[in-house]
Structure 1
Amino acid sequence: MDLTKYPQYQLYLLTLKLMNLKNHLIPENCDERCINSTIINRAYFSSYLLSKLWLEDIKKFKTIPPWNFGDDKPISEHKQIRQALYNFGEKKMKTELSRLSSLRKKADYNPFTEITHEELSAAIFHMENIFNNLKFD
């Protein structure tokens, strides 16, 4: 599989480019948070989509709609992906994706909280770990 042809990989490249050009992308009268939250969001979704592709392609795992859990509490597809990574022995990748998920929630749902340089760097670090460690051979 040539991963470079997949949108997940292209989103990964875009995220790295956004990180490298972030100081040039901040609109006038905006603070750095506007681009930082976008970078974290894209880091999470590129990693989530790659994890989902890996699970489907390599492990033949498919998520089920959250409402198909009967009387049990619905489980989001995002949580199903993290749990499946864990179940298939990718505990580190599950942890990386969980950390990205937490950063994304902060970035997307708490617009008045600061995003530190360390958090932004951590998001890129987690994304790169996922892309470098999930193998499609």
Structure 2
Amino acid sequence: MTDTDRTPAAATGEKQPFDLGTGPGRVLVWFYGVFTVAAASRSIVQMILDFGKAPLAYVLSAVAALVYGFITYSLVRGGEKARRTALVCCAGELAGVLIVGTWTLADPSAFADATVWSDFGAGYLLIPVILPVTGMIWLRRARTA
């Protein structure tokens, strides 16, 4: 192996692939992973024990879990395609949080029980509304790196 074979990509002018799960991305992976487990656990238990009480709320929590899981997977997988997919999912997640959050404030009687995204995630310290914004900022930064 010659010295040129050991030269880092940055030194040769090649663009290094950006690892989405490093630095602040690792914190995002952790939060999304925790929220995947929390939302999935919550929705599964609620759907098994009392689905008829609040089916809309429980299904929305399951949808949130799926979105969180897909974003977690994309961040761990890395690559440009995963970055773009995660960016779209974060935008969809933010739209969901804003729609459900507004809906729960405007018409609380529509939800017999809270969802992960109710009141903009107030039951989760507003992390559900902060997380997609943070994710989109990180994923846009990852594109330019």
Q: Which of structures 1 and 2 has the larger relative contact order (alpha carbons within 8 angstroms, sep 6+)?
A: 1
Please report the TM-score for the alignment, with normalisation by the length of structure 2.
Answer: 0.36
Please report the TM-score for the alignment, with normalisation by the length of structure 1.
Answer: 0.37
| Larger radius of gyration between Structure 1 and Structure 2 | 2
Choose between structure 1 and 2: higher helix proportion: 2
